[in-house]
Amino acid sequence: MEIELSKTDIIPPYNFDFALTHYNIYPWVSEEGKLIRVLQLRNGKICVAEIKSLGTLNNPKLVIRTKPSRNIQAEEVEEIKEIISWCLGLKEDYRPFYEMCEKDRVLKTAMESRYGSKGKSYPTVFEAIIGVICAQNIQFKRLYSMMYNLCTKLGERIKIAGKDYFSFPSPKNISRSPLSIIRECKVGYRDKFIKKIAEIIVKDNINLEKLKKLSTEDARKELLKFPGIGPYTANLVLAVGLRRKDVLHLDRFVREVMYTFYFDGEKVPDELLIKYANKHWCGFQSLAVDALTTNTEIWAKKLGIDFKIKSGARGE
Protein backbone atom coordinates (compact mmCIF):
# COMPACT_ATOMS: atom_id res chain seq x y z
CA MET A 1 0.00 0.00 0.00
CA GLU A 2 1.39 3.40 -1.00
CA ILE A 3 0.17 6.74 0.28
CA GLU A 4 1.18 9.89 -1.57
CA LEU A 5 1.58 13.27 0.11
CA SER A 6 2.08 16.18 -2.28
CA LYS A 7 2.08 19.97 -2.12
CA THR A 8 -1.59 19.97 -1.13
CA ASP A 9 -0.64 17.92 1.95
CA ILE A 10 2.72 19.58 2.71
CA ILE A 11 3.28 23.31 3.22
CA PRO A 12 6.61 24.17 1.59
CA PRO A 13 9.45 24.58 2.01
CA TYR A 14 10.06 21.11 3.38
CA ASN A 15 13.52 19.63 3.95
CA PHE A 16 13.11 15.85 4.06
CA ASP A 17 16.88 15.28 4.04
CA PHE A 18 17.14 16.92 7.45
CA ALA A 19 14.48 14.60 8.89
CA LEU A 20 16.30 11.68 7.31
CA THR A 21 19.63 12.49 8.96
CA HIS A 22 18.77 14.10 12.32
CA TYR A 23 17.15 13.00 15.58
CA ASN A 24 16.33 9.47 14.46
CA ILE A 25 15.49 8.25 17.93
CA TYR A 26 14.16 4.68 17.85
CA PRO A 27 11.56 3.64 16.67
CA TRP A 28 12.55 6.20 14.00
CA VAL A 29 15.10 4.59 11.68
CA SER A 30 16.90 5.93 8.61
CA GLU A 31 17.70 3.28 5.99
CA GLU A 32 18.80 3.66 2.38
CA GLY A 33 17.22 7.07 1.85
CA LYS A 34 14.00 6.12 3.61
CA LEU A 35 12.65 7.19 6.98
CA ILE A 36 11.14 4.18 8.72
CA ARG A 37 8.78 4.13 11.67
CA VAL A 38 6.92 1.33 13.43
CA LEU A 39 3.40 2.47 14.26
CA GLN A 40 0.79 1.03 16.58
CA LEU A 41 -2.62 2.10 15.34
CA ARG A 42 -5.62 2.87 17.51
CA ASN A 43 -7.05 -0.61 16.86
CA GLY A 44 -3.82 -2.19 18.11
CA LYS A 45 -2.51 -3.18 14.68
CA ILE A 46 1.28 -2.89 14.22
CA CYS A 47 2.68 -1.78 10.88
CA VAL A 48 5.84 -0.28 9.43
CA ALA A 49 5.72 2.98 7.49
CA GLU A 50 8.54 3.64 5.01
CA ILE A 51 8.73 7.27 3.94
CA LYS A 52 10.61 8.41 0.87
CA SER A 53 10.90 11.80 -0.81
CA LEU A 54 10.20 12.17 -4.52
CA GLY A 55 9.94 15.94 -4.45
CA THR A 56 12.02 19.03 -3.85
CA LEU A 57 12.35 21.66 -1.14
CA ASN A 58 9.70 23.93 -2.66
CA ASN A 59 7.67 21.25 -4.41
CA PRO A 60 7.59 18.49 -1.78
CA LYS A 61 6.21 15.04 -2.37
CA LEU A 62 6.44 12.07 -0.02
CA VAL A 63 5.45 8.48 -0.57
CA ILE A 64 4.57 6.34 2.44
CA ARG A 65 4.72 2.60 1.88
CA THR A 66 3.04 0.51 4.57
CA LYS A 67 4.15 -2.99 5.45
CA PRO A 68 2.60 -5.46 5.63
CA SER A 69 0.46 -4.05 2.84
CA ARG A 70 -2.30 -6.63 2.94
CA ASN A 71 -5.54 -6.03 4.83
CA ILE A 72 -4.88 -2.33 5.41
CA GLN A 73 -8.28 -0.68 5.69
CA ALA A 74 -9.18 2.79 4.38
CA GLU A 75 -9.51 4.24 7.88
CA GLU A 76 -6.08 2.83 8.78
CA VAL A 77 -4.57 4.49 5.72
CA GLU A 78 -5.98 7.82 6.88
CA GLU A 79 -4.65 7.26 10.39
CA ILE A 80 -1.15 6.47 9.11
CA LYS A 81 -1.26 9.58 6.93
CA GLU A 82 -2.35 11.71 9.91
CA ILE A 83 0.36 10.31 12.20
CA ILE A 84 3.19 10.92 9.72
CA SER A 85 1.89 14.37 8.85
CA TRP A 86 1.74 15.26 12.56
CA CYS A 87 5.17 13.86 13.41
CA LEU A 88 6.89 15.67 10.55
CA GLY A 89 4.90 18.90 10.84
CA LEU A 90 3.93 18.70 7.19
CA LYS A 91 0.91 20.99 7.46
CA GLU A 92 2.66 23.63 9.58
CA ASP A 93 3.80 26.88 8.01
CA TYR A 94 7.32 27.69 9.22
CA ARG A 95 7.83 30.71 6.96
CA PRO A 96 7.11 33.26 9.72
CA PHE A 97 9.82 31.58 11.81
CA TYR A 98 12.30 31.69 8.94
CA GLU A 99 11.53 35.39 8.49
CA MET A 100 12.28 35.97 12.18
CA CYS A 101 15.59 34.13 11.80
CA GLU A 102 16.65 36.51 9.04
CA LYS A 103 16.73 39.31 11.64
CA ASP A 104 18.87 37.32 14.09
CA ARG A 105 22.49 36.79 12.98
CA VAL A 106 22.93 33.69 15.12
CA LEU A 107 19.68 32.00 14.18
CA LYS A 108 20.21 32.85 10.52
CA THR A 109 23.56 31.05 10.63
CA ALA A 110 22.08 28.07 12.51
CA MET A 111 19.31 27.69 9.93
CA GLU A 112 21.42 28.00 6.79
CA SER A 113 22.03 24.28 6.40
CA ARG A 114 18.56 23.20 7.53
CA TYR A 115 16.21 25.62 5.79
CA GLY A 116 12.86 23.92 5.35
CA SER A 117 13.30 21.56 8.31
CA LYS A 118 10.30 21.15 10.56
CA GLY A 119 11.53 18.90 13.31
CA LYS A 120 10.36 15.41 14.15
CA SER A 121 7.86 14.81 16.93
CA TYR A 122 6.84 11.75 18.89
CA PRO A 123 3.55 10.30 17.56
CA THR A 124 2.00 10.01 21.02
CA VAL A 125 2.16 12.12 24.15
CA PHE A 126 3.09 9.03 26.17
CA GLU A 127 6.13 8.32 24.02
CA ALA A 128 7.12 11.99 24.29
CA ILE A 129 6.89 11.87 28.09
CA ILE A 130 9.06 8.76 28.33
CA GLY A 131 11.51 10.14 25.77
CA VAL A 132 11.93 13.41 27.62
CA ILE A 133 12.29 11.68 30.99
CA CYS A 134 15.04 9.53 29.45
CA ALA A 135 16.73 12.71 28.20
CA GLN A 136 16.98 14.20 31.70
CA ASN A 137 20.51 14.93 32.92
CA ILE A 138 22.39 13.03 30.22
CA GLN A 139 24.51 13.64 27.17
CA PHE A 140 21.92 13.53 24.41
CA LYS A 141 23.50 10.58 22.58
CA ARG A 142 22.55 8.30 25.49
CA LEU A 143 18.89 8.87 24.70
CA TYR A 144 19.24 6.87 21.49
CA SER A 145 20.33 3.72 23.32
CA MET A 146 17.74 4.11 26.10
CA MET A 147 14.85 4.37 23.64
CA TYR A 148 16.18 1.50 21.54
CA ASN A 149 16.46 -0.69 24.64
CA LEU A 150 12.91 0.14 25.78
CA CYS A 151 11.51 -0.74 22.36
CA THR A 152 13.40 -4.02 21.91
CA LYS A 153 12.71 -5.16 25.50
CA LEU A 154 9.11 -4.04 25.90
CA GLY A 155 7.73 -3.10 22.47
CA GLU A 156 5.90 -5.25 19.91
CA ARG A 157 8.04 -6.98 17.28
CA ILE A 158 7.22 -7.01 13.58
CA LYS A 159 9.35 -8.79 10.97
CA ILE A 160 9.64 -7.22 7.52
CA ALA A 161 11.74 -8.87 4.81
CA GLY A 162 13.55 -10.93 7.43
CA LYS A 163 14.39 -7.94 9.62
CA ASP A 164 12.97 -7.24 13.08
CA TYR A 165 11.48 -3.85 13.92
CA PHE A 166 9.94 -2.83 17.25
CA SER A 167 7.19 -0.46 18.29
CA PHE A 168 7.44 1.86 21.25
CA PRO A 169 5.98 0.03 24.27
CA SER A 170 2.46 0.88 25.32
CA PRO A 171 1.64 2.04 28.85
CA LYS A 172 0.09 -1.40 29.43
CA ASN A 173 3.28 -3.22 28.44
CA ILE A 174 5.43 -1.05 30.67
CA SER A 175 3.05 -1.17 33.63
CA ARG A 176 3.05 -4.99 33.52
CA SER A 177 6.84 -5.25 33.35
CA PRO A 178 8.88 -5.82 36.50
CA LEU A 179 11.07 -2.88 37.47
CA SER A 180 14.08 -5.12 36.94
CA ILE A 181 13.27 -5.44 33.22
CA ILE A 182 12.89 -1.68 32.81
CA ARG A 183 16.19 -1.28 34.66
CA GLU A 184 17.83 -3.59 32.11
CA CYS A 185 17.09 -0.93 29.51
CA LYS A 186 19.80 1.16 31.21
CA VAL A 187 17.55 4.11 31.94
CA GLY A 188 19.06 4.65 35.40
CA TYR A 189 17.00 6.33 38.11
CA ARG A 190 14.29 7.03 35.54
CA ASP A 191 13.03 3.42 35.74
CA LYS A 192 10.73 4.15 38.68
CA PHE A 193 9.20 7.20 36.99
CA ILE A 194 8.69 5.35 33.71
CA LYS A 195 6.87 2.47 35.42
CA LYS A 196 4.83 4.70 37.75
CA ILE A 197 3.62 6.95 34.93
CA ALA A 198 2.57 3.91 32.89
CA GLU A 199 0.74 2.45 35.91
CA ILE A 200 -1.15 5.70 36.53
CA ILE A 201 -2.24 5.93 32.88
CA VAL A 202 -3.50 2.34 32.85
CA LYS A 203 -5.13 2.46 36.30
CA ASP A 204 -6.94 5.77 35.67
CA ASN A 205 -7.58 5.08 31.98
CA ILE A 206 -6.01 8.41 30.99
CA ASN A 207 -6.14 9.48 27.35
CA LEU A 208 -3.03 11.62 27.00
CA GLU A 209 -3.84 12.48 23.38
CA LYS A 210 -6.52 14.85 24.69
CA LEU A 211 -3.72 17.13 25.85
CA LYS A 212 -3.12 18.07 22.22
CA LYS A 213 -6.45 19.88 22.21
CA LEU A 214 -5.79 21.86 25.41
CA SER A 215 -4.20 25.26 25.71
CA THR A 216 -0.47 25.25 26.39
CA GLU A 217 -0.99 26.27 30.02
CA ASP A 218 -3.71 23.69 30.69
CA ALA A 219 -1.65 20.93 29.04
CA ARG A 220 1.34 21.92 31.16
CA LYS A 221 -0.76 21.65 34.34
CA GLU A 222 -1.85 18.14 33.39
CA LEU A 223 1.73 17.05 32.67
CA LEU A 224 2.97 18.39 36.01
CA LYS A 225 0.65 15.97 37.82
CA PHE A 226 2.83 13.02 36.85
CA PRO A 227 5.83 11.87 38.92
CA GLY A 228 9.19 12.77 37.44
CA ILE A 229 7.80 15.72 35.49
CA GLY A 230 8.82 19.21 36.55
CA PRO A 231 8.64 22.51 34.63
CA TYR A 232 11.63 21.66 32.40
CA THR A 233 10.30 18.24 31.41
CA ALA A 234 6.76 19.55 30.93
CA ASN A 235 7.94 22.31 28.58
CA LEU A 236 10.06 19.93 26.55
CA VAL A 237 7.14 17.48 26.24
CA LEU A 238 4.99 20.38 25.05
CA ALA A 239 7.59 21.13 22.37
CA VAL A 240 8.37 17.62 21.09
CA GLY A 241 5.11 15.85 21.91
CA LEU A 242 2.50 18.55 21.32
CA ARG A 243 4.47 20.64 18.80
CA ARG A 244 3.98 23.83 20.81
CA LYS A 245 6.26 26.57 19.54
CA ASP A 246 5.78 29.10 22.33
CA VAL A 247 7.54 27.20 25.14
CA LEU A 248 11.11 27.39 26.41
CA HIS A 249 13.04 24.65 28.19
CA LEU A 250 16.32 25.54 29.87
CA ASP A 251 18.99 22.88 30.35
CA ARG A 252 22.78 23.02 30.42
CA PHE A 253 23.07 23.02 26.62
CA VAL A 254 20.45 25.73 26.06
CA ARG A 255 21.96 27.91 28.76
CA GLU A 256 25.47 27.56 27.35
CA VAL A 257 24.27 28.43 23.85
CA MET A 258 22.46 31.54 25.06
CA TYR A 259 25.37 32.64 27.28
CA THR A 260 27.81 32.23 24.38
CA PHE A 261 25.88 33.79 21.52
CA TYR A 262 23.64 36.35 23.20
CA PHE A 263 25.34 37.38 26.45
CA ASP A 264 29.04 37.47 25.48
CA GLY A 265 29.73 34.38 27.59
CA GLU A 266 28.30 35.86 30.79
CA LYS A 267 26.39 33.32 32.90
CA VAL A 268 23.31 35.43 33.53
CA PRO A 269 20.33 34.29 35.66
CA ASP A 270 17.63 32.16 34.05
CA GLU A 271 15.19 35.05 34.40
CA LEU A 272 17.21 37.05 31.87
CA LEU A 273 17.39 34.12 29.47
CA ILE A 274 13.63 33.67 29.65
CA LYS A 275 13.04 37.39 29.21
CA TYR A 276 15.32 37.49 26.17
CA ALA A 277 13.65 34.46 24.53
CA ASN A 278 10.15 35.74 25.17
CA LYS A 279 11.00 39.16 23.75
CA HIS A 280 13.06 38.22 20.70
CA TRP A 281 11.64 34.80 19.79
CA CYS A 282 8.04 35.32 20.90
CA GLY A 283 5.83 32.53 19.59
CA PHE A 284 8.82 30.55 18.32
CA GLN A 285 10.85 29.87 21.47
CA SER A 286 11.00 26.09 21.05
CA LEU A 287 11.91 26.37 17.36
CA ALA A 288 14.70 28.82 18.15
CA VAL A 289 16.12 26.52 20.85
CA ASP A 290 15.94 23.54 18.49
CA ALA A 291 17.89 25.44 15.83
CA LEU A 292 20.47 26.72 18.31
CA THR A 293 21.16 23.31 19.84
CA THR A 294 21.40 21.31 16.60
CA ASN A 295 24.86 20.89 15.06
CA THR A 296 25.98 23.86 17.15
CA GLU A 297 29.63 22.81 17.10
CA ILE A 298 29.51 23.00 13.27
CA TRP A 299 27.66 26.23 12.47
CA ALA A 300 29.28 28.13 15.37
CA LYS A 301 32.57 28.03 13.45
CA LYS A 302 31.02 30.31 10.82
CA LEU A 303 30.68 32.90 13.58
CA GLY A 304 34.27 32.37 14.67
CA ILE A 305 33.33 30.44 17.82
CA ASP A 306 34.72 27.07 18.87
CA PHE A 307 31.71 25.62 20.69
CA LYS A 308 32.69 22.61 22.76
CA ILE A 309 29.39 20.83 23.44
CA LYS A 310 28.26 18.42 20.74
CA SER A 311 24.56 18.37 20.01
CA GLY A 312 24.10 14.64 19.32
CA ALA A 313 21.54 15.47 16.63
CA ARG A 314 22.95 12.77 14.38
CA GLY A 315 23.28 10.23 17.18
CA GLU A 316 27.04 10.64 17.68
Classify residue 230: in a domain, yes or no.
yes
**Any bridge partners for residue 98, and if so which?**
none
Give tens-digit pLDDT for 2-14.
Answer: 999 998 999 999 9
Residue 252 and residue 173 in one domain: no
Phi, psi dihedrals of residue 195, rounded to the nearest 5°: -70, -45
Q: Percent of the chain scored above 90 by pLDDT?
A: 93
Residue 160 and residue 259 in one domain: no
Residue 188 and residue 86 in one domain: no
Residue 264 and residue 225 in one domain: no
Least confident of 17-26, 68-77, 95-104, 184-193: 68-77
Measured CA to CA, the distance from residue 158 to residue 253 in angstroms comes to 36
Across the range 45-67, mean pLDDT stands at 96
Instruction: Express the helix, strand and coil content of the chain in percent, nearest 5 each.
Output: 45, 10, 40
Give tens-digit pLDDT for 216-229.
Answer: 999 999 999 999 99
pLDDT in the model for residue 166: 97
**Any bridge partners for residue 157, and if so which?**
166
Residue 252 and residue 223 in one domain: no
For residue 217, the domain's CATH number is 1.10.340.30
pLDDT in the model for residue 140: 83
Measured CA to CA, the distance from residue 285 to residue 18 in angstroms comes to 20
Measured CA to CA, the distance from residue 277 to residue 283 in angstroms comes to 9
For residue 52, the tally of other CB atoms under 10 A from its CB is: 17
Give tens-digit pLDDT for 201-218.
Answer: 999 999 999 999 999 999
Beta-sheet pairing, 46-53 with 34-40: antiparallel
pLDDT in the model for residue 227: 97
Measured CA to CA, the distance from residue 169 to residue 153 in angstroms comes to 9
Residue 135 and residue 236 in one domain: yes
**Could you tell me the strand order of the sheet in which 28-31 lies?**
2-5, 62-67, 46-53, 34-40, 28-31
Classify residue 118: in a domain, yes or no.
no
Classify residue 315: in a domain, yes or no.
no
Residue 32 and residue 181 in one domain: no
Nearest to 168 by CA among 183, 158, 181: 158
Across the range 161-167, mean pLDDT stands at 95
Q: In terms of C-beta density within 10 A (0-12 exposed, 13-18 middle, 19 or more buried), how is residue 78 classed?
A: exposed
Q: Which of 241, 270, 298 is the last residue of a domain?
A: 241
pLDDT of 316 above 70:
no
For residue 73, the domain's CATH number is 3.30.310
Give tens-digit pLDDT for 138-157.
Answer: 888 899 999 999 999 999 99
Max intra-chain CA distance, the chain: 60
Least confident of 123-132, 193-202, 230-239, 305-314: 305-314
SS3 185: coil
State the total domains in the chain. 3
pLDDT in the model for residue 268: 98
Domain that holds residue 171: 125-241
Cβ proximity of 182 and 174 under 8 Å? yes
